Copies of this chain bind each other. A is one copy, B any other.
Amino acid sequence: MKTKKTFGEFALISEIKKSFVKAGGRLKVAIGDDTAVFEEKKGRLLLSTTDMMVEGVHFTAAQNPFKVGQKAIASNVSDIASMGGTPLYGLVSAGFRKNVSRGYVNELLKGIKKEASKYNVGIIGGDTVSSQVNIINIALLGEVTGKKYALRSRAGEGDFILVTGTLGNGAAALLAGDIYVPKIQISFAKEAVKAGIINGMIDVSDGLSSELHHLAEESKLGAFIDIKAIPLSALTEKIAAKKKKDAYTLALNGGEDYELLFTVAPKNLRKILKMGKGKTKLSVLGVMREKKLGIKYSDFNGELKILPRRGYDHFA
């Protein structure tokens, strides 16, 4: 349910969360995690999530519409992945400016179609309207077969904290005026959740620092990570150097990487590393700790510091 959020957006979401339904009966998970979860029949749980992208906020008119379409699907698939689910069906709502070119619309639709096909998502419905600004909203349904799904709130004290892939790609692409189309770790997430060795999980849409805060808060724990352990891609380091930015800051606060941040009990560390071997890059970032120890990181001098929850506020 998340493109990169602003503080104002966080405040609105918390207001919406207060207003609406609570889990109970068929509804296993309501607002507050990456997807909602409800039971359709015994042993089959449906997941649902939605994500809105607005031109001028989440993408620009100058960016490649094919990639904008791809990202719209990928960011929703990422929410399904972070529950350990399989994406099924998508509903696409699009608002287009009156003067939009047929070519732009076609490229955007092609990007949606390409990415939907990559993850076996069937687009089964939609709405197209005219708008003062281009908008794409995707609502995605997925499922969990079996009863296991991952939640943000299930990290345990002493769990190792891991992340898939490399971070900073979203921020680096933005610096280069491009859009990063992530490869969602859907198969890895399904396999690991099915094996029952993932405790807490969230996808990295708002930046590592913000997501670690979510994971720790929802699990009522503290956390410690080693900044040197954060995996950076070569491209991120290159663009950061060129633009005179700190690559680790991009990884911590940049967001839109859509990798998976998750925790495993110490006894399952070997198992999960074996599962990723040769297929999914995994990095151990730190450990979950008691809540009173706070959320901290060790910097390059080994000094322990408080990890701020970064972000920026479109509404301010």
Q: Does A44 contact B (CB under 8 A)?
A: yes
A52 touching B124 in the complex, CB below 8 Å, given contacts A92-B16, A105-B12, A129-B9: no
Nearest residue in B to A12 (C-beta to C-beta)? Answer: B128
Do B52 and A109 touch across chains, with their CB atoms under 8 A apart? Answer: no
How many copies of this chain?
Answer: 2
Do B131 and A57 touch across chains, with their CB atoms under 8 A apart? Answer: yes
Interface size class for chain A?
Answer: 35 or more
A133 touching B130 in the complex, CB below 8 Å, given contacts A38-B124, A46-B40, A52-B93: no
Q: How far is it, in angstroms, between the C-alpha of A44 and the C-alpha of B17 when the chains are bound?
A: 29
Q: How far is it, in angstroms, between the C-alpha of A57 and the C-alpha of B94 when the chains are bound?
A: 13
Max chain B CB contacts within 10 Å: which of A21, A41, A55?
Answer: A21
Do A130 and B6 touch across chains, with their CB atoms under 8 A apart? Answer: yes
Do B124 and A20 touch across chains, with their CB atoms under 8 A apart? Answer: yes
A16 touching B109 in the complex, CB below 8 Å, given contacts A98-B315, A126-B1: yes
Q: Does A169 contact B (CB under 8 A)?
A: no
Max chain B CB contacts within 10 Å: which of A54, A131, A132?
Answer: A131
Q: How far is it, in angstroms, between the C-alpha of A55 and the C-alpha of B54 when the chains are bound?
A: 14
Q: Does A269 contact B (CB under 8 A)?
A: no
Do A124 and B40 touch across chains, with their CB atoms under 8 A apart? Answer: no
11 more CB-based (< 8 A) A-B contacts, given A15-B106, A38-B89 = A16-B126, A19-B109, A27-B124, A30-B122, A36-B91, A40-B40, A41-B41, A41-B44, A48-B124, A93-B137, A132-B132
